[in-house]
Structure 1
Amino acid sequence: MRSFADQTQRPAAVNRSDRPDIKTANVPFSATERRATAGLAAIFSTRMLGLFMVLPVFALYAHELPGATPMLVGLAIGAYGLTQAFLQIPLGLLSDRIGRKPVIYGGLTVFLLGSLVAALADSIHWVILGRAIQGSGAIAAVTVALTADLTRDEVRTKGMAIVGVSVAFSFAAALVIGPPLARWFGIAGIFWLTAALAVIGMLILAYVVPDPDRSTMHRDAQPVLSQLTGALTHPTLLRLDLAIFLLHLTMVSLFVVLPLSVESAGLAAIDHWQLYLPVILLAILAMVPFVVLAERQGLERPVLLGSVVALGLAMLGLHAFDDSLWALAILLVAVFAIFNLMEAVLPSLVSKAARAGARGTAMGIFSSAQFIGAFLGGLLGGWTHQQFGADAVYLVGALTSLIWIGLMATMAMPENLTRHVLTLAASPKDGAPGLEQLLLDVPGVKEAVIALDEGVAYLKVDSRQLDWARLQTFAAST
């Protein structure tokens, strides 16, 4: 083995980690980064708000559309998921070639077109087409990539987290504002508002989001074609992909019939927000302790298994007590708490399970699985409603939980390793394999991948064993 004195003659370099003991976790955003993150979060959230606003209301008003059947209503609710799933990775890769902003402008334009088609629809079939076109403006991966371009490594994770959290707020806001908007302006009015949100997104992109100095590949933030096979065949990642697929299948199928149950329980359509608002707030409070148990105490498996069991029981409860508003409220607190919990814990596990330098690819596949779940949830929920009645849709969620329990019970939990990035001062003289081996020789470094095109080294380290002083010395060497 080479001595460390020999190793420090190699070109490696600037330390870029978000560990507190390296004094980067509390690095503040620069003014430009703050502006970029806020602008991209606004674009992302307004687009998702437009997609989500129909969830709590479409089943109530769709019968007014010619040709509407329960199955086609479900298909209209979930249609965006199919096109979103299949186009987001290709559009992300396209942005590497022609630039991030042109692809985002294009995606928002397509989203605008889909909204207009749905707003002008005179039958359920045109609404389905409009929703599918909306999903074709799949800018999720490109937005994440642009966030990476416009933020330093020290704050990049924080920036992407803000963009991600904005989606959760969009979902909550959609449930609250969707019912009164639909009552006042109709379903067409919601789609007109969605079109306006697309225009607002373009204005934010033009006047708020800065232009990046250059767009580069960020393997921890965006997919890489050569890594797709490895991510798709990784046993733990595959189970996590199926988990998010089942979660969104369950949630979207739920909204095919939930508005009908709430109305049947005695709450007028315009007042549904009075149920959703307190339920969402209580659900957020309820899920926090379990996130702490999973993330801080290392109890991911029992938290996940317990959540899936609770979700299945809640779905059975919705089947049994869907005529009681109080029962619906209590059960929905559990359902939304579990949904929020899973939305926090599952991506964290994907990040831990993905190999060094492959998190972007793993997250791209994970996100696609989520959207496929949304599409099939709408389709399956609508078909079940049509064939067996609205109550049967809740049983679909309960049966889905049985499959999910098997996935979680047999999944190997990923090691609790920390991701770390080193910027290379120059190309290694012995090439990437030589520098990778030097990094692996540092105690506590479990994985090392050199990305010469990015000029960085991606690491996964065990913070309990890592010799941080030695790694810092190595990073500071030239």
Structure 2
Amino acid sequence: MQADALTPIEKRTALSLSLVFALRMLGLFMIMPVFAIYGQHLIGYSPIWVGIAIGAYGLTQALLQIPAGILSDKFGRRPIIFAGLLLFALGSLVAAYSESVYGVTAGRALQGAGAIASAILALAADATREEQRSKAMGMIGISIGLAFTLAMVAGPILAPLIGLHGLFLITAAGALSGIAIVHFLVPHVISRAPRGETIAVPALLGQLIKNSQLQRLNIGIFILHLALTAMFVVLPLKLQNMHLSSAEHWHIYLPALLLSFILIIPMLIIAARKNMNKQFYLFAIVLMAASFIAIAFTSHSIATMFIAILLYFTAFNFLEASLPAFISMLAPAGAKGSAMGIYSTYQFLGAFFGGIVGGLSYKLVGSSGLFLCLAGLLLLWFLISWKIHNPSKIRTHSCTAKIKDEQHATLLTDQLLLLDGVLEVVVIIEEQTVYIKVNNQVFALAKAKEILGNQ
């Protein structure tokens, strides 16, 4: 087995956990493009309650994301994942059999209470080597993008046939299938990745929340998902008003999403090779703002609407891929798990508040006013992000070492700091782990491992 390739066990773990993540996200996303239309028969239906119902999962997810990760560290990854998927299935059934928008909202909130994202990522980290961990995380990230794409197509196709009731039943079946996948396909591992790389550490949270660079990224993911949820409170109705039936909405979503994936490939490649991650990040924010302005002023031309939605999905997919990578690169050494926990909390809070903003704005200023408000919010995000550091060259490595005591830890730290490209070293004696934050263009990992191995 080549050192730079995933082992069969690592590959099986990454693929099976990616499938579980995708099934869960498919259930959360599939309702978004159709609820505003097919929820009109529900008792208490209104634009505001459409938004609350769509985004309700975000509030419970945000509140429970970090606690669930910490519990998985104490009681094991699998029990927390099983419990979360059961809650998700139960919430889907509550929503499926509700006759009011309030019941659907309660079901969506219960879905979000199955907050297993951090436990799944931690299990993936446990089963992979440090040098291969980013590949496993990348596969899970891709699965989320594919789930979003499939949801944008499946929702409009299936809703006319089986209604909201059927969509929620499919979602419940997906959650139960996820339990079977974890039980039968995910390998049982007894190793545990360094805690700082995977799980939020409560003692670090206050310090990380105050970190100005991470603050800018957290605000970014909050606005990104607020805009996403708010958009789908209104967009299905806007397309319907353009004489495009709900069953035909996927004719817009699918080609736009597929083309957007093609368009972001050169953006990602150039950004990485030319060390222009920050520049493309800012460009994507402006591109999304432009797409909202175009949607706001489009009321008749399907072709213009398609181009606007294409620009939106291109910007969204680029930003969705870039933000977690930026967090990983800019987080202090040994605090990536905590930084990602805070990031996820902001992400899901954005989804929740997006539903409220979408419903209220639609009622007060109409669909065009909503999209113009979102464009203004995106420009505010652009200004906030102007002073973000370019993370192109930064990476954190975690290495195991036999650390005897504090004096030995200090010696290792001093030696590692002498290496070219080393920016920060954190030694955790209890975990026998050394975190090294580096400029990856000049840092030689082999030299660091040589120092750690010779001690």
Measured against the shorter chain, the TM-score band is over 0.9
State the Cα distance separating 1:427 from its structure 2 match: 2.8
Residues 330-355 of structure 1: CA deviation (Å, up to 9, x unaligned): 00110000000101122221122111
Cα distance in 1 for partners of 2:359, 2:279 equals 33
In structure 2, the partner of 1:401 is: 378
Say if 1:295 and 1:345, in contact at 8 Å, map to a contact too: no
Cα distance in 2 for partners of 1:322, 1:450 equals 59
The more displaced of 207-216 and 167-176 is 207-216
Write the letter of the residue equivalent to 2:398: V
Say if 1:239 and 1:411, in contact at 8 Å, map to a contact too: yes
State the Cα distance separating 1:234 from its structure 2 match: 0.6
Q: Equivalent of 1:314, from 277, 291, 295?
A: 291
Say if 2:93 and 2:168, in contact at 8 Å, map to a contact too: yes
Specify whether residues 375 and 258 from structure 1 end up closer, same or farther in structure 2 by C-alpha distance, changes over 3 A only.
same
Counterpart secondary structure, 2:398: strand
Residues 256-304 of structure 1: CA deviation (Å, up to 9, x unaligned): 1111111222221112111111111111111222222322212233322
Cα distance in 1 for partners of 2:348, 2:443 equals 38
Q: Equivalent of 2:114, from 133, 137, 140?
A: 137
Say if 1:96 and 1:216, in contact at 8 Å, map to a contact too: no
1:187 aligns with 2:164: yes
Write the letter of the residue equivalent to 1:170: A
In structure 2, the partner of 1:293 is: 270
Write the letter of the residue equivalent to 1:178: G
What's the % identity of the aligned pairs? 38
Residues 406-465 of structure 1: CA deviation (Å, up to 9, x unaligned): 111233334722322322034357243332222112232211111223222110122344
Unaligned runs of 5+ in 1: 1-22
Cα distance in 1 for partners of 2:268, 2:7 equals 30
In structure 2, the partner of 1:89 is: 66
Write the letter of the residue equivalent to 1:416: K
Q: Equivalent of 1:338, from 315, 320, 332?
A: 315
Q: Equivalent of 2:423, from 420, 428, 446?
A: 446
Counterpart secondary structure, 2:357: helix
Residues 124-164 of structure 1: CA deviation (Å, up to 9, x unaligned): 00001100110000000000111111112221111111112
Cα distance in 1 for partners of 2:180, 2:42 equals 33
Residues 367-424 of structure 1: CA deviation (Å, up to 9, x unaligned): 1111111111111001111222222221221111121121112333347223223220
Write the letter of the residue equivalent to 2:113: S
Higher RCO, Cα 8 Å, sep 6+: 1
State the Cα distance separating 1:356 from its structure 2 match: 1.0
In structure 2, the partner of 1:354 is: 331
In structure 2, the partner of 1:276 is: 253
Write the letter of the residue equivalent to 1:374: A
Cα distance in 2 for partners of 1:77, 1:467 equals 48
Q: Equivalent of 2:223, from 243, 246, 250?
A: 246
Q: Equivalent of 1:434, from 396, 411, 422?
A: 411
In structure 1, the partner of 2:389 is: 412
1:327 aligns with 2:296: no
The more displaced of 457-466 and 214-223 is 214-223
Q: Equivalent of 1:159, from 132, 136, 141?
A: 136
In structure 1, the partner of 2:33 is: 56
Cα distance in 2 for partners of 1:429, 1:254 equals 53
1:209 aligns with 2:207: no
Say if 1:249 and 1:373, in contact at 8 Å, map to a contact too: yes
Cα distance in 1 for partners of 2:334, 2:452 equals 18
Counterpart secondary structure, 1:63: coil
In structure 2, the partner of 1:372 is: 349
Q: Equivalent of 2:240, from 241, 259, 263?
A: 263
Cα distance in 1 for partners of 2:173, 2:380 equals 40
In structure 2, the partner of 1:226 is: 203
Counterpart secondary structure, 1:450: strand
Specify whether residues 442 and 271 from structure 1 end up closer, same or farther in structure 2 by C-alpha distance, changes over 3 A only.
same
Say if 1:294 and 1:345, in contact at 8 Å, map to a contact too: no
The more displaced of 179-188 and 415-424 is 415-424
State the Cα distance separating 1:230 from its structure 2 match: 1.8
Say if 1:290 and 1:303, in contact at 8 Å, map to a contact too: yes
The more displaced of 145-154 and 70-79 is 145-154
Q: Equivalent of 1:424, from 393, 397, 401?
A: 401
Say if 1:236 and 1:413, in contact at 8 Å, map to a contact too: no
Say if 1:261 and 1:323, in contact at 8 Å, map to a contact too: no
Cα distance in 2 for partners of 1:470, 1:275 equals 52
In structure 2, the partner of 1:110 is: 87
Aligned residues: 455
State the Cα distance separating 1:216 from its structure 2 match: 5.4
In structure 2, the partner of 1:460 is: 437
The more displaced of 125-134 and 439-448 is 439-448
State the Cα distance separating 1:469 from its structure 2 match: 5.9
Write the letter of the residue equivalent to 1:43: V
Q: Equivalent of 1:100, from 77, 82, 88?
A: 77
Q: Equivalent of 1:124, from 80, 94, 101?
A: 101
1:146 aligns with 2:127: no
Q: Equivalent of 2:44, from 47, 64, 67?
A: 67
Rg larger in structure: 1
Residues 34-76 of structure 1: CA deviation (Å, up to 9, x unaligned): 2211111111110000000001111111111111010000110
Counterpart secondary structure, 2:198: coil
State the Cα distance separating 1:468 from its structure 2 match: 5.4
- The CA RMSD over aligned residues, in Å, is 1.8
